[in-house]
Amino acid sequence: MLCEVGETVVYPQRGAATLIAVNRRIVRGEKKVYLTLDVMQGDLVIEVPADSVDLVGIRDVVSHDGLAAVFDVLGAPVADFHAAPRPTRYSSCMTDSSTAMSPPAPSPDGSAVATNPPANPATAFHIEAPASESGPRVAVVVVAAGSGTRLAQPQPKAFVMLRGSTLLARALESVFAMTEPAQVVVVAPADWIAEATTIAVDVAGVASSHISVVAGGATRQLSVAAGLAVIGADVDTVLVHDSARALTPPELLDAVVAQVRSTGDGVIPGLPVSDTIKRTADGVALETVDRSTLSAVQTPQGFPRVALQDAYHLAREDYTDDAALYSAAGHTVRVVLGDPLAFKITTAWDLRRAESLLPGEPVASGLRTGIGIDVHAYDPASPLWLGGLYWPDEVGLAGHSDGDAVAHAICDALLSAAGLGDIGGRFGTADPRFENAHGEIFLVETLALVVGAGFSVANVAVQVVGNGPRMSPRRVEVEQNLTRIIGAPVSVSATTTDALGFTGRGEGLTAVATALLTS
């Protein structure tokens, strides 16, 4: 599809959108182009990877004049508008703005065309798509807009790694394993829309046309409302799911959908409370609560679409979950048996627990290689730590920790080989615990992650690139120290760039490491 900024395109399930910008950025080391679309119906801006427009279903508008006629009729008074029993998307419209359209009939090439225009478009306007054009009846709003401060990671919680995949990706894997096709709406932080789109498209694969990605609000309730605003016209059942419940099995999502349809009520999964619960006041236990009446509630929470949207329109306060909001509007909420795997990952302990529940995942056998690079500027005010050793009388390296570029590069190489992300994602500079921390701490923690994922280190090689310090006098000492920490052979070499680049100008130092793992 060739389209210029300012032109109008068709965006499935949302009608028309205007291309307002074309952005280019580096994602995972690759140059990516993103189209920013301003959806005409509603205050919504969506960013879509340019290489996915065909999968998503974006296409050129057949006629701008016809599009204007459609919106003129949609804006007419309700009393003068007669919609088809089940309004859905359509793919083309007539160019004559003085006529309206009856239900589309198939043309010889299979596309929908308008026929038999009535005399008065203001009182008879119908949009109906062929059966094959109807959209999913289920929508899953995946809330991924939380900051996750309790997880103490530099990125939002949904983008934290769990055994080589983000929490968002793992949550979406379960959604796309549902029995019934669904429109999947990812609600992400505004600054992470591009990353969320890339993750969602990667997980969805050939089903990318089912994806929508929107920016969340200041609260969870506002984020869900943003997701509800873009669900398709054919949807009758909505699930609201937290990306933080990344291990939720798809069978639970299917069960909630089935219960919503069979009862017509809201449905939430819950687990019996096994602990003794006390009612307290000022630190004093007053009474024991009957735990047989309690349930630990999970997501996905399911609702009839119209009733849920009405409940959101009526809401005048912020509720802890969608079931509370739905109940406040006077609706019934039923509880079905949840699943222990649907626990919420909120703290670092939860994340570690989730990692321990994934030992059965297939791990590539044989050898795995990884590469890591770390760069630090020289800082005369800092002591020099390199290869886990202190270097007296040498210019130090600037950094949030001790600036040990060799140790940091090795960590990145090990994590890369094991598919566990990178050092920034594991030990971010925003975490005060790692301020001035020595390289050995990062190496020990990284090694624990690698071994925990089922790998052993075969060997590591590091090359230091810079004008100083001279490595040869202490090379063997550095190798022995790193070998001791890692428990596998580590070789170290050094070179310069012959006065080229920032290292040649003496501005900083680069360390490049490779790691070989066995499983």
97-106, 301-310, 384-393, 478-487: least confidently modelled range = 97-106
Q: What is the residue whose two structure tokens read 């321990």? A: 356
Tell me which of 40 and 97 has the higher pLDDT: 40
Q: How many residues does the chain have?
A: 519
pLDDT tens column, 448-475: 889 888 889 999 999 999 999 999 899 9
pLDDT tens column, 331-383: 999 999 999 999 999 999 999 999 888 865 444 457 899 999 999 999 999 99
Distance from CA of residue 103 to its chain's centroid?
39
Per-residue model confidence (pLDDT) at position 138: 97
Maximal CA-CA distance, the chain: 94
pLDDT tens column, 379-398: 999 999 999 999 998 999 99
Residues whose CB falls within 8 Å of the CB of residue 23, separated by 6 or more in sequence, listed in order: 33, 34, 36, 47, 194
Tell me which of 420 and 117 has the higher pLDDT: 420
Please state the pTM of the whole predicted model: 0.50
β-pair type (161-162, 165-166): antiparallel
Per-residue model confidence (pLDDT) at position 71: 53
- % of the chain with per-residue pLDDT over 90: 54
Per-residue model confidence (pLDDT) at position 497: 92
Per-residue pLDDT band at 406 (split at 50, 70, 90):
very high
- % of the chain with per-residue pLDDT over 70: 77
Per-residue model confidence (pLDDT) at position 111: 40
Q: What is the residue whose two structure tokens read 């859905």? A: 88
Q: Please name which of 312, 335, 313 lies closest in space to residue 325, comparing C-alpha atoms.
A: 312
Per-residue model confidence (pLDDT) at position 35: 77
Distance from CA of residue 238 to its chain's centroid?
19
| 373 within 8 A of 511, measured Cβ to Cβ | yes
- Which pair of tokens denotes residue 48? 């879509």
